[in-house]
Chain A
Amino acid sequence: MIYPLLITAFVISTCGLVYELIAGTVASYLLGDSVTQFSTVIGVYLFAMGVGSFLSRYIEKRVIETFIKVELLVGLIGGFSATALFVLFEHVENFRILLYGLVLLIGILVGLEVPLLMRILEKKLDFKELVSQVFTFDYVGALLASLLFPLVLVPHLGLLRVAFLFGIFNVIVAFWSVRLFKDELRARESNFFKGAAALCAIVLVCGFAFSEKIMSFAESATFSEPIIFSTTTPYQRIVITGNGRDIRLYLNGNLQFSTRDEYRYHEALVHPLMASLPKPEDVLVLGGGDGMAVREVLKYPSVKSVQLVDLDEKMTRLFSEQAFLTKLNKNSLKDRRVSVLNGDAFVWLRELDGKRQFDAIIVDFPDPSNFSLGKLYSDTFYKTLRKALKPGGLVVIQSTSPYYAKNSYWCVVNTLKASGFLTTPYHAYVPAFGDWGYVIGSLQPFDAPRQYPPGLAYISPESFACMLEFPHDMQPTKLAVNRLNNQELVHLFEAEWSEYEQH
């Protein structure tokens, strides 16, 4: 009976250390700064083990039963720890409370284990032997865990599965203890524990089996502000954060707007084009499912129809139904002049084939960060766009930052030019983004507007005149045409932005 219990000491110490390593790893992974994460997690964990050891003194009777309960709890909580941390990361407001709470809980339970085990063994060994043996196995188990974890377990199983596996080990210890002490347990109790152990084991095995699905669900992104809404659509991950009056929208982790300064971005996108048209009636907005650009378009009384084409149905639904979001876009997507179509802009335009034409086309796509988005900035796309333009109509294209990615910006301008447009490039300063670029495409020379609708906070004839000036540090070093068969823009964009991403 002594050796089985010493093996138990070995197993539980291995499990205990593994949970600690998992918490540290997940924390560094999700929060960054591994030195801080590891030392705080280890500190809190050791402290919690001390608390557990202290608490063990209050367990006077039924030590064996308590030990079995503790094992089941450690198995269950430890087993699900990694999964819980990953899944809840995006959904809880303060992740650190969850993290340290979990570390504290597991630490306390693990801290209870060894004292309880020693008390179970105290009648069977003399004190000197007991201390020597239990701690030997405890520390050997710790060594094994610390070696196995990085070299074998994580590479072959992945974090989630490792946690589940060791949870199962804890449950096996519980089960084994029930059998070892069957003479000292009441029959009913013994059966209850066996049942509970079996249930825990089943749950953990399921977790082990499906951990992969969980992992892909719990893809992580880091946001500095509290998350107030998040959802995954077939096309993107939508996250909305809120910090007082500053609401921010992130698509796949990229900032789309901040309520502090989105008016600057959207006024600059919409008004130079709209105000220069004598009487814009039919407007097409591609992308821009947040309805902000449409809000600006509706400031022109001559507008009779606005067609919005955005890929993501969830996105447009969110921005036409959620009260805190429709407040931001002034309920523009519900306006009777606006019709929303969820579809792929390129495919839709090709099918349209000039059968419907617009006075103004506003193109507000995500930056060309991958090859499928790059196609929406190609000369083929702009030629297709041209067919949807009325004679005398205008297009405007959001075209990334001429400061951070000057060659990318001028590549968009150049591609538009190569597709038969006259181009008017301009840029505006949007604090949340930095210096941002746009380009107007026209079929006749473009005249800057002399008058804007009342109530604009940013755009005026004077401010727009400044926007047309590009200083030396925004001049391109390379000019290219973005074609479907070369995707120049994506290559340029990748090269230019990666300079800013590597700190």
Chain B
Amino acid sequence: MSNTDKLSRKLFLRSLGSFVLSGTIGGAVSGCLTACNRLGRTNLTNSTYSTNFPVKMLGPSMAVGHRLRDMLGRLNPAFADEVKADFCKVVIVGGGIAGLSTGWWLQRHGFNDFTLLELESACGGNSRSGKNKVSAYPWGAHYVPLPNLESHYVRLLFAELGLIEGDYSVAAPRYNDLHLCHDPQERLFKDGQFQDGLVPRRGLKLEDSLEIRRFFELVHELRDAVGADGRPAFAIPVDLSSQEPKFRELDEITFAQWLEQRNFNSKPLLWYIDYCCRDDYGALSANISAWAGLHYFAGRRGRAANAETNSVVTFPSGNGYLAQALKEKIRAHIIESAPVLRILPGQKLSRVIYEQDGKTKALQAETVIFAAPRFLAPYIIADYKLEKKPEYAPWLVANLTLSGVPGSRGTPLAWDNVSYYGDSLGYVVANHQEITTRRSSIVITYYRPLARMPAAQARRFLQAQGETFWRDEIVKDLEIMHPGIGALITSMELWPWGHGMVSPSQGYMWTGRQKLERRFKSVVFAHSDMSGISNFEEAQYQGIMAAETIISSGTALKEST
């Protein structure tokens, strides 16, 4: 509320200005009138905002997770041995992008003896999605940037799904227009108006503009940098990056330190950089490694024949579309709502104890692919100890259905709509890609990383606050961009992510994550937390690498016989 007050005061001062400046009655009257009209319209509802709509708290199955923790004590090895076990060569634990990609890759190579167990009622992990009458919408990841040349597996999948048309291995492939983000792509709310693009352009001092230019020149240089080993300085997946020390050393300081060393002080620039860090890592530049921070700006080199370089591939259900497509491919191998209670890795055979329809079941496997976040591993894998847990950033994601497009000043509604104020990342319009002209209702996905407090504290805070608290927080935040938006909201659903994504904190990219085992006895790990960056490309890469360990040993076996 205070912000709309501020806005009106500012507008009024401006209209007073025109009173004084114009000097003529006509000017004064019309100056006053334009202000009156504008204000009369924008302030029809400024007194209180409406929160008269249903709110529902969804979220990952905490209940299952907690029950799992409770059962651990009771589940002794003897009991586990009693359960009759079927044999299955490979068991994949976890149906996020990593696990689904493992399955896709195995199947592509003719390995069909695998089963994927998913805790939740639907696969997808961070790429889960929902759907209502108006649109499908994401609960987490919602786009993939144009894949780089080295992002071979992403391109391959895109070609398989018809997202890339024609040759996928050329520098700039042709993409399916319907899934390239339609224009307008991004807008930023600053100083009372929306501007095109997310890099602040309004109200800049000359120093700000110069620093912003210097920053982009620097990151563009890094984007094109190639190490002595012939690899790009910042690659996607990160494992393909140059190993040259001058790049890897960037991991030893924080991104904020790196910026300070290079005298970047401009407030709008630092806002933009922090925005990007919160967007990609759920953390501030002071809490992430400089290597990871720079990776965001210097890692994306993908091009398209029919779009600009900053374009992205997106869907109403976000990356839920890709998760669903992968799932379709290996549907027969998937068991959903099947929490894994225990993994007992043996020398030759491992036992996986899981629950299905209230019954405890077991599978015997030659290899178990553990495609769940690593912090869960000590609870599930017998005798496995984790020396240092990776850090995970907590997030709140909300999907709001609006009965109309919220009014705003400046650039019209875009796909990604960001505010310079507040702690959220703004919102993405889920049905932006619709080709209909009769769109009246929209679904917006609101993202809020809890980046400003330590993760553990933020997680407790996230769980402690009820739906009314978050409802009021979200509406209050959105009202800054769109006074009166409350009255347009017809429903709101919330999804708290306690361990939303791995945080690439200082030293994690090239020291911390290297200490995570790739294998424990016959358990092979696959998750984006092993990359240090939580996104589709990394999750897919880790999943495929895990599958490769099986495929390569399998071929070896075939050759020996």
Contacts and interface: CB of A to CB of B under 8 A. Distances in A.
Contacts of A375: 182, 435, 437
A158 B177 contact: no
Contacts of B26: 34-35
Interface stretch (B38-46, B286-294, B491-499): B38-46
B164 to A, nearest CB: 14
Nearest to A370: B412
A154 interface: yes
B85 interface: no
Nearest to B24: A35
Interface in B46-84: 46-47
B162 to A, nearest CB: 14
Interface string B72-100: 00000000000000000000000000000
B12 A151 contact: yes
Contacts of B172: none
A391 B437 CA distance: 29
A487 B438 CA distance: 18
A243 to B, nearest CB: 28
Contacts of A373: 437
A28 to B, nearest CB: 5
A372 B36 contact: no
A29 B436 contact: no
Contacts of A184: none
Contacts of A344: 435-438
Contacts of B44: 158, 161, 211-212, 215
Contacts of A211: 44
A155 B36 contact: yes
Contact of B178 (A28, A159, A380): A380
Interface in A127-183: 150-151, 154-161
Contacts of A372: 436-437, 439
Nearest to B437: A372
B446 to A, nearest CB: 22
Contacts of A381: 435
A467 to B, nearest CB: 29
Interface residues of B, number: 42
Given A28-B30, A35-B26, A485 B435 contact: no
A375 B26 CA distance: 42
B36 A159 contact: yes
A371 B36 contact: no
B437 A311 contact: yes
Interface string B422-458: 0000000000000111111000000000000000000
Interface residues of A, number: 43
Interface in B153-209: 177-178, 180-185
A235 B40 CA distance: 25
Contacts of B184: 371, 487
Interface string B1-45: 000000010011001000000000110011011011101110111
A344 B439 CA distance: 10
Contacts of A235: 437-438
B550 to A, nearest CB: 39
Q: Which of A35, A161, A381 counts the most B-chain CB atoms under 10 A from its CB?
A: A35
A234 interface: yes
A486 B307 contact: yes
B39 A155 contact: yes
Q: Which of A34, A35, A235, A376 counts the most B-chain CB atoms under 10 A from its CB?
A: A34
Contacts of B40: 154-155, 157-160
A376 B437 contact: yes
A376 B434 CA distance: 12
B468 interface: no
A179 B184 CA distance: 62
B39 A485 contact: no
B549 interface: no
Interface string A476-492: 00000001111100100
A331 interface: no
A326 interface: no
A346 B436 contact: yes
A155 B177 contact: no
B135 interface: no
Contacts of A380: 177-178, 435
Contact of A484 (B11, B43, B183): B183
Contacts of A376: 437
A150 B412 CA distance: 29
A380 B175 CA distance: 12
A379 to B, nearest CB: 7
B306 interface: yes
B308 interface: yes
B408 interface: no
Contacts of B12: 151, 155
Nearest to A366: B437
A347 B311 CA distance: 24
Contact of B435 (A159, A212, A215, A350): A350
A378 interface: yes
Interface in B356-389: none
Contacts of A38: 29
B183 A29 contact: no
B180 A484 contact: yes
Contacts of A35: 25-26, 29-30
A177 B359 CA distance: 80
A25 interface: yes
Contacts of B438: 234-235, 311, 344
Contact of B183 (A159, A311, A485): A485
Interface in B294-336: 306-308, 311
Contacts of B311: 485
A110 B399 CA distance: 53
A185 to B, nearest CB: 38
A485 B178 CA distance: 9
A150 B46 contact: no
Contacts of A150: 15, 32, 35-36
B47 to A, nearest CB: 8
A346 B29 contact: no
B482 to A, nearest CB: 15
A25 to B, nearest CB: 6
Contact of B440 (A29, A154, A234, A350): A234
Given A378-B177, A483-B307, A484-B180, A346 B435 contact: yes
Nearest to A82: B40
A484 B36 contact: no
Given A28-B30, A371-B184, A379 B177 contact: yes
A157 B29 contact: no
Contacts of B307: 483, 485-486
A465 to B, nearest CB: 36
Interface string A30-72: 0000110010000000000000000000000000000000000
Nearest to B439: A372
Nearest to A494: B412
A165 to B, nearest CB: 13
Interface in A377-399: 378-381
Contacts of B436: 344, 346-347, 372
Contacts of A487: 182-184
A39 to B, nearest CB: 9
B177 A483 contact: yes
Nearest to B306: A483
Nearest to B185: A485
B201 to A, nearest CB: 16
Top 3 A-B pairs ranked by shortest CB distance?
Answer: A487-B183, A155-B39, A158-B40
Interface of A: 25, 28-29, 34-35, 38, 150-151, 154-161, 211-212, 215, 234-235, 311, 344, 346-347, 350, 370-376, 378-381, 483-487, 490
15 contacts: A28-B29, A28-B30, A34-B29, A38-B29, A154-B40, A156-B47, A157-B43, A158-B39, A159-B36, A159-B40, A371-B182, A375-B182, A375-B435, A485-B181, A486-B307
Given A158-B40, A486-B307, 6 more contacts: A25-B36, A28-B30, A29-B33, A35-B25, A35-B30, A346-B435
